[in-house]
Structure 1
Amino acid sequence: MRKAYLYELGSVITGNTPPKKKKEYYMNSDISFVKPDDLPYRQSINFLNNSKCYISFCAKDKARIAPKKSILVTCIGIIGKIAIVNKNEVAFNQQINAIIPNEKVIDHRYLAYLLLFNRKKLNFIANAPIVPIINKSDFSNFKVKIHDDIMSQQKIADSLDLASSLIEKRKEQLEAMDQLIQSVFYEMFGDPVVNDKNWEMFNLSNLGELGRGVSKHRPRNDEKLLGGEYPLIQTGDIANSYIYIYDYKSTYSKLGLEQSKLWRKGTLCITIAANIAKTGILTFNSCFPDSVVGFIANEKTNSIFINVWFSFFQEIIENSAPESAQKNINLKILSNLSVIAPPIDLQNKFASIVEEIEAQKKVMEESLQEMENNFNALMQKAFKGELFPE
């Protein structure tokens, strides 16, 4: 293996945005115009086929163009989201650097995985304290270790492709399980948006106890409040769950608990700021801030039913949320939501089905974690020269 600068492996280009004042530049969907939002942050490579935005052919000369097999890397904000251009060509904005690989020197898939392997180092060189950024010069002069032999590079890329494809299939299976839960709900209760089965309806406040989380102390991130034994969940923890919340990243100290409130296991958590109307059920006692509302079901309903009901309305509620600095809703809006209330025996039957599906998902998620660990170990061996020694 040898060391090389990125500029030695291909042409490095920083994207731009054609002038927005020229309406004709954006009238047609001729060329994909890629922004960071088009690249999910994941533990594998994105293969870019589409984008949310496009430009017209007449804007091509004003844009930066990356041909097929180019590697796109986000270099402002979230550093190191990586994609391979999988179509003829794309344009891309100034938050993204592209490398057009020199195919005589490096395989394009190998280069993408190499950058993924070096993501932590890329983050380390991002030089702005508030918004991380890697400029073109620093990116071009980023040094990596590569295999000299193209055949070895291709073997490594093939091995990582296979491991990555297994991970993606497992993720698709997990997504299908979530869709199954919604399908079962729809079959048992009809469309909750139009209530086509004419179930009795109640305001959410009549179906249980609602209350906002508590975080009295300012500043909220005071070190004295944190680092103890009491779980603290945030809106992001809820947004990243589906039915149950299994994990937490923060904890309160005893002082933190005294200025907050500990909600019991089984509470349905509903976000009301930033991530709107995202939900999850606590599997442990926990505190949460006032950007989250807790719901404890009464005898008319259960938390699993209400949780899945929210999944049909989340986008509707979010789109109707008032916006100042950021979107938010209040306790009154939540309290007045009209919710279908089928017979509790039917709701409980649905909840039992969901628990069975969730048990299967838990096993699959553990398998996914093992696959991702194996992928990372494989990548370590590959780029340390231990997988296919030269």
Structure 2
Amino acid sequence: MMSQYSTLGEVARFTNGAAFKSSEWSEDGSRIIRIQNLTDSKKPFNRTRRPTPSSIQVHPGDLLVSWSATLGVFEWQGPDVAVLNQHIFRVEPDYSKVDKLYLRYALVRVLDQAQRHLHGATMKHVNKGDLLATRFFAPNLSEQRRIAEVLGRIDALRAKRRKAMALLDDLTQSIFTDMFGEPIANPHCLRESTVEEIAEKVTDGEHLTPKRESEGIKLLSARNVRSGHLDFGNVDYVGVDEYERIKRRCDPRRGDVLISCSGTIGRVAPVETDEPFTLVRSVALIRPKRDVITTGYLAGLLQTSALKARMLQRANASSQANLFQGQIKALPVLLPPLEMQKEFDQRINQLARLKSSHQTHLAELDALFDSAQHRAFSGELWDDSLT
């Protein structure tokens, strides 16, 4: 059977959401789905009574694509019918041409490829015309369902690994609270300080757009700062000369703590490598004074829900939030005795080893998924050994 290709516009309708003014928000009415509600289930919803066309009314199970700032594919899990904010497409598949799950995986691949081409953009976004014109492998429906089932099985294993890692993050926060109490309330009356006072250095990455290379020194952005670790799997590179220029401002070292400070605010990771790398401005660096505070304790403190909430409050209220150096320096820090901090570090290091094992297995599953996805949407013959 010969391979068949279609464009996304031929197999689905893409409808952009509406712009809702703050004056149109209300205490009740329909929930407004914003990008932050898709990327973080804990984010509160704005509501509106404004009448909206059925084309932007989102029903449970509908596919959504965020196409500006944060690129992603989502399925609305809400129990009710909500309305769609701007910068998000509602995707209505033509079920006579495409399987819904197959389309979802196709969209994930298309956006992954788009993300690579959009590196360095101030505000990443996908042009609707270009998106709808994107060609992808679309065999008959039976084959689409078979491919989607294989990808779905691998994806389910990846989800289990991520859930296990999230539970370890929750346990880290529980250990912190048990030892030191809630950091804003400070029930144990610990010494209070600020990030500026406990840090040798607070800075962010390169402000000018660095000249990127296909290889060289790794250049990390906010997407590489995960919860508790750095992800070096999808990075840009700069040449040695560019690196030497940038590192005069920002030179990450083992023991530093990094914070995502643009787009997705407040992901925190310690630097646990001696390999040289550098940062763009969407990542902030804190170099702690080692005789005052440990790296593990500072990272644990900044990952608490209370400090993350404080960061979000201080970030600029815009379509893409930003947390600036002055706001980071002003963040509150509790200072328990150094011995207590070291005890905390020892306890979370045990969890970190478990998390590292999960990360290794997740990376293997990610590689398997990427390989399977590439073969599926390249129109290559499917390897029956994978099924």
Query: What SS is found at the alignment partner of 1:366?
Result: helix
Change (3 A) 1:170 1:98: same
Unaligned runs of at least 5 residues, structure 1: 42-47
Higher deviation after alignment, 160-169 or 85-94: 85-94
Per-residue deviation, residues 270-313 of structure 1 (Å, max 9, x unmatched): 67888777643322455668953321220x54221232123335
Say if 1:73 and 1:96, in contact at 8 Å, map to a contact too: yes
Q: Does 1:159 align with 2:155?
A: no
Provide the rounded CA distance (Å) in 2 between the counterparts of 1:227 and 1:385: 27
* Of 262, 269, 274, the match for 1:280: 269
Change (3 A) 1:98 1:385: farther
Provide the rounded CA distance (Å) in 2 between the counterparts of 1:36 and 1:212: 29
Provide the rounded CA distance (Å) in 2 between the counterparts of 1:112 and 1:105: 14
Partner of 2:381: 386
Q: Does 1:35 align with 2:34?
A: yes
* Of 110, 125, 134, the match for 2:127: 134
Matches within 5 A, 1:73-112: 73-79=65-71, 81-86=72-77, 89-112=81-104
Partner of 1:146: 138
The one-letter code sitting in structure 2 at the alignment partner of 1:357 is: L
Matches within 5 A, 1:1-390: 1-10=3-12, 12-17=13-18, 20=21, 23=24, 26=26, 28-30=28-30, 32-40=31-39, 52-56=45-49, 59-61=51-53, 64-67=56-59, 69-79=61-71, 81-86=72-77, 89-119=81-111, 132-135=125-128, 137-148=129-140, 150-199=141-190, 201-203=191-193, 210-213=200-203, 220-221=208-209, 223=211, 236=222, 240-243=225-228, 245=230, 247=232, 253=241, 255-256=244-245, 259-260=248-249, 262=251, 264-269=253-258, 279-285=268-274, 292-298=285-291, 300-312=292-304, 313-315=306-308, 317-318=310-311, 321=314, 326-330=322-326, 333-334=329-330, 337=332, 339-342=334-337, 344-383=338-377, 384=379, 386-387=381-382
- State the identity as a percent: 13
Larger radius of gyration: 1
TM-score, reference length from structure 1: 0.73
TM-score, reference length from structure 2: 0.73
Change (3 A) 1:387 1:68: farther
Query: What SS is found at the alignment partner of 1:28?
Result: coil
Provide the rounded CA distance (Å) in 2 between the counterparts of 1:171 and 1:165: 10
Provide the rounded CA distance (Å) in 2 between the counterparts of 1:198 and 1:84: 45
Say if 2:63 and 2:76, in contact at 8 Å, map to a contact too: yes
Say if 1:245 and 1:280, in contact at 8 Å, map to a contact too: yes
The one-letter code sitting in structure 2 at the alignment partner of 1:6 is: L
Say if 1:66 and 1:100, in contact at 8 Å, map to a contact too: no
Provide the rounded CA distance (Å) in 2 between the counterparts of 1:125 and 1:256: 24
Higher deviation after alignment, 109-118 or 166-175: 109-118
Change (3 A) 1:304 1:139: closer
Say if 2:17 and 2:89, in contact at 8 Å, map to a contact too: no
Change (3 A) 1:191 1:331: closer
Change (3 A) 1:125 1:134: farther
Change (3 A) 1:144 1:297: same
Compute the displacement of 1:108 (Å).
1.3
Compute the displacement of 1:367 (Å).
0.6
Provide the rounded CA distance (Å) in 2 between the counterparts of 1:374 and 1:332: 39
Query: What SS is found at the alignment partner of 1:14?
Result: strand
Say if 1:277 and 1:317, in contact at 8 Å, map to a contact too: no
Provide the rounded CA distance (Å) in 2 between the counterparts of 1:282 and 1:176: 22
Provide the rounded CA distance (Å) in 2 between the counterparts of 1:5 and 1:230: 37
Say if 1:6 and 1:140, in contact at 8 Å, map to a contact too: yes
Change (3 A) 1:221 1:350: same
Say if 1:72 and 1:83, in contact at 8 Å, map to a contact too: yes
Say if 1:170 and 1:368, in contact at 8 Å, map to a contact too: yes
Say if 1:269 and 1:295, in contact at 8 Å, map to a contact too: no
Provide the rounded CA distance (Å) in 2 between the counterparts of 1:203 and 1:319: 20
Unaligned runs of at least 5 residues, structure 2: none
Change (3 A) 1:164 1:261: closer
Per-residue deviation, residues 205-227 of structure 1 (Å, max 9, x unmatched): 89855224498xx974465x999
Provide the rounded CA distance (Å) in 2 between the counterparts of 1:257 and 1:268: 18
